[in-house]
Chains A and B, each alone.
Chain A
Amino acid sequence: MLPVTKKWLFLKISSAILLPLMLWFIINLVNIYDKSYFEIVNFLTTQPSKFLIGLFLVIAYFFSALTISEVFEDYINDKKTKNAANKVLNFFAITIPVITIIVIFNLNT
């Protein structure tokens, strides 16, 4: 399979998984944003929200990295700049969800 085909497939699969997670996440975000500290921590540390947020973050950053790299492909001509931009993007797409998931697992009510 060609790398571009594989990328397209990953993009479509992650997109299909992400859709219900996005809907679930945004509804809950609207619900919790002005709640008290303990209510938010309770939401983040209890199941199934703990698992679903982790899954949402991993898939969302994976999907974002793939789509934004396509934007780089279309608008950045210089190969070195494009590679550097992709490296920075991938670095954040890995570290941010990992750190956030570790934080969520270390929060206590």
Chain B
Amino acid sequence: MEDRPLSPHIQIYKWHISSLVSISHRITGIINFFAITLICIWFTLMLLGESDYQIIKIFLETFLGKFILIGITWSFSFQMLSEVRHLIMDLGYGFELQTTKITGLLVIFGSIVLTILIYLIGRGLI
């Protein structure tokens, strides 16, 4: 269909938890694409050798570097939980209005908890 309407009409529909999770899922998916690309560039810069790598290391230890890392961790966490929600829905579960609200909230708040957990595990604090 050539002139089919574009979707979803985010400017028209009233916002719900499900629509918030859905649009955030798409945004974090695009963020993750760029984040993984950034990580690939970082790995590629390892070819420069130890002395040149010091500049990148100094940047990674700055507030901005840590902020980007935590941001990527949250974006990954959100994407993972939202993907689990999608997979469960693909199996035919969780379509009731109340359940979609609960699972949507679980994804939103769970992503914050998961970010903290991943950070603590990654830093060897737990």
Interface secondary structure of A, over-half rule: helix
Determine whether B105 belongs to the interface, using a CB cutoff of 8 Å to chain A. no
| Inter-chain contacts of A19 with B (CB < 8 A) | 80, 83-84
Determine whether B60 belongs to the interface, using a CB cutoff of 8 Å to chain A. yes
- Are the CB atoms of A107 and B47 closer together than 8 Å? yes
Interface size of A in residues (CB-CB distance below 8 Å): 43
Determine whether B123 belongs to the interface, using a CB cutoff of 8 Å to chain A. yes
Given A31-B123, A41-B46, the answer on whether A16 and B87 have CB atoms closer than 8 Å is yes
- Are the CB atoms of A30 and B69 closer together than 8 Å? yes
A-B contacts at CB below 8 angstroms, number:
102
| Smallest Cβ-Cβ distance to B68: which chain A residue | A33
Over the window 23-47 of chain B, the binary record of Cβ atoms lying under 8 Å from chain A Cβ atoms (1 yes, 0 no) is 0001001101100110110011011
- Are the CB atoms of A30 and B123 closer together than 8 Å? yes
The 8 Å CB contact of B7, one of A26, A31, A74, A104, is A74
A interface residue numbers (CB < 8 A to B): 12, 15-16, 18-19, 22-23, 25-31, 33-34, 36-38, 40-41, 44, 57, 60-61, 64, 67-68, 71, 74-77, 79, 92, 96-97, 99-100, 103-104, 106-107
